[in-house]
Amino acid sequence: MSRLIIDTGTLGNPATGDTLRTAMGKINDNFLEVYDDLAGAGLGGQLTNTTTNGNVIIQPNGTGIVEVDQLQINGDNITSLITNGDLTLSGNGTGGVEVLGSFSAGSVVTNTIVSNGSNATLNIDGSGTGKVIIDAAEVEIHHDGTKVLDTSTGLIDITGSLFLTAATPTIFLKRSDNANQPAITFKSSGGTDSANILMDGTSGTTNELIFQTFADSSLSEKFRVTTGGAKVTGTLNIDDGITITDNTITTSASNANLELTAASSGTVKVIGNLTLDDSDEIKLGTSGDLRIFHNGSHSIVREDGTGSLYLQSDNNVILSKDTSTEIMVKGIADGAVELYHDNTKKFETTAGGVSVVGAVTSTGATDLTLNTNAGTDSGSIVITDAANGDITVETNGTGDILLKAGGQVGIGTVSSPDTDLHIKKPNAVITLQRTADANQPGIDFQQSGGNVRAELRMDGTSGTSNEVFVKTHDGSSLAERFRVGHTKTSVAGHLEVSGAQVDFTALPTSDPGVAGRLFRSGNDVKISTG
């Protein structure tokens, strides 16, 4: 109930206030309310301020103290009055005990904080973004009486397994310098380092990942992941069927084939030499009809099937000794078949039959003249028999000179041309002389239909300083792609380097101060802005 006020009336005692009986009744009711609160009756043993948001203050006088049952409250200290008695702060029901501000425990029983509830969880939690910091010379975490984490060595020593549960659980190892080598080390039961996984940050390694295992007396590298792939030191075992040791690939399955299979329409490519021991064979065809092998004495290409053995080429077929230094047989594509004796052609097929190649000697006083067109004088070949005499091919009038050969043409001291036109003599030179400096001598390349599709020219127009340029056809017209001048080389379009490296080590290491020029800055290649 709210406090009952005794009405004392007005001044002068006009008998306008409460009667004595009514006033004493209010006094009894007020004392009863207070007595019930203090005695634990009526309001459930609570001392309550009925004013909304009102305080309840119990304060001693002077140096006095406040005692509640067996508790002593003196200033900001709460002390148990029971000898060796515990001081328990407990919330009601699911409520807890909240400490606002710092919490200091000068004397906790055996320096231990224990949850008193049966199988209850003890939570230590910072507020909002606050942290929970444990600062000690050594920290241990135990599970059911067994130590599972220890920091006594300055490291985090975990006994048991470490589980990370998240959508993408990740362990980060951050080094303080790029030359450091962060690692995961696996130890034996005796504490010896038995395996390592580390990131190599030494100069030139580009942050490679290294796997080490203990062999003999020390850790040694067995596997390395680089920016270009991976490297295995020792033997690589694949499903207990394939082993790779150094440059040897072996199948361990009994009598099993070693198969190299490319995906889809891809091929298996061997770079370098393919070597087989004597009597080991290359077998081609489903049944191995074609065999290529060396029997210890002879090299053999053998067809064991019912079909024929073809040697096919879109170009010439040449049977030669050693490295083509001595030709024995030459089959010219769409042309003659030639037979040679001691690298000298002696027999040749032609469109009209065959031709035997030998010496043709003229002993007459005049040159030997052969009519090339049934004596119609449309062209002639003049061969002089004089010492150091010239061989002249000349036309009659404005006729063209046509050199038609199914094989290749050699000039000079060539015994067997290597290309369609082979010139062999000291300082051999092909000269294209123009009649005026404004002319553009060059070489044209035609398609099969006769249209020019590429040009190599020397430019003689004004201001070009006799530059050499290349034109190619883009489908509609010829356009310049490449030009070499006396001071620079220019490319129209983009310059592509495939299967090789561009070396910038010779570039200056400081800004040349000329716009557009390259220079190196550390590992970077930069372009000067001038």
pLDDT means per 10 residues, the chain with 530 residues, are 62 71 80 64 60 80 82 82 82 77 56 73 82 88 89 84 91 85 87 89 77 88 87 80 81 78 89 89 88 92 88 90 82 90 86 68 60 54 61 74 77 84 88 87 90 91 82 91 86 78 82 88 87
Query: Which of 407, 404, 307, 299 is closest to 348 using CA atoms?
Result: 407
Write phi, then psi, for 39 (nearest 5 degrees): -90, -5
Integer Cα distance of 527 and 89 in angstroms: 73
Closest CA to 530 of 485, 519, 318, 316: 519
Strands (E), 188-261: 193-200, 208-215, 218-226, 229-232, 235-238, 242-245, 248-251
CA distances for 316 relative to 308, 313, 420, angstroms: 20, 7, 11
Alpha-carbon dihedral of residues 113, 116, 121, 125, nearest 10 degrees? -40
Residues across the chain: 530
Helix (H) or strand (E) holding 37: helix 20-39
Query: 3-state DSSP call for residue 36?
Result: helix
Sorted by sequence, the CB contacts under 8 Å of residue 501 that are 6+ apart come out as none
Provide the terminal-to-terminal Cα distance of the chain, rounded to the nearest Å: 93
Structure tokens at 284: 């081609």
3-state secondary structure of 177: coil
3-state DSSP assignment of residue 5: coil
Residue whose tokens read 């490296």: 501
Give Cα separations from 283 to 280, 287, 292, 417 (angstroms): 10, 8, 7, 35
Rounded CA separation 128/481 (Å): 68
Q: Which two tokens stand for residue 308?
A: 């024929």
Distances (CA, A) of 95 to 49, 71, 88, 90, 102: 21, 21, 14, 8, 20
Task: Please give the distance of CA 480 from its chain centroid, rounded to a whole number.
Answer: 38
Rounded CA gap, 509 and 135, in Å?
Answer: 51
- 179 φ, ψ (degrees, to nearest 5): -85, -10
Distance from C-alpha of 141 to C-alpha of 1, rounded to nearest angstrom: 55
Residue 373's SS3 state is coil
Q: Could you give the 3-state DSSP secondary structure of residue 375? A: coil
Separation of alpha carbons 249 and 283, rounded Å: 19
Q: 35 phi and psi, to 5 degrees?
A: -60, -45
The single residue listed with the structure tokens 């001291």 is: 413
Q: What are phi and psi of 160, to 5 degrees?
A: 115, -155
Max intra-chain CA distance, the chain: 183
Cα dihedral sign for 503, 506, 508, 512? negative
Report how far residue 236's alpha carbon sits from residue 244's, in angstroms, rounded to the nearest whole number: 5
Contact 472, 446 (CB under 8 A): no
Exposure of 505 in the CB half-sphere (CA atoms within 13 A): 2
Residue 456's pLDDT is what? 93
Instruction: Give backbone dihedrals phi and psi of 328, rounded to 5 degrees, phi first.
Output: -105, -50
Distance in angstroms (rounded) separating the CA atoms of residues 500 and 523: 19
pTM beyond cutoff 0.85: no
What is the distance, to the nearest Å, from the Cα of residue 312 to the centroid of all Cα atoms in its chain? Answer: 43
Token look-up 């680089």 returns: 226
Read off the tokens for 240.
């207990």
Q: 21 - beta bridge partners?
A: none
Task: Copy the structure tokens of residue 158.
Answer: 């975990």
Q: In this predicted structure, what is the pLDDT of residue 107? A: 45
Say if residues 113 and 121 touch (Cβ distance below 8 Å). Answer: no
- pLDDT of the residue at 39: 54
- CA dist 140 and 163 (Å) reads 18
Strands 235-238, 229-232: parallel, antiparallel or unpaired by DSSP?
unpaired
Paired tokens of 40: 């634990």
CA angle 340, 342, 344 (to 5 degrees): 50
* Measured distance CA(476)–CA(341) in Å, rounded: 51
Distance CA 58, CA 56 (A): 7
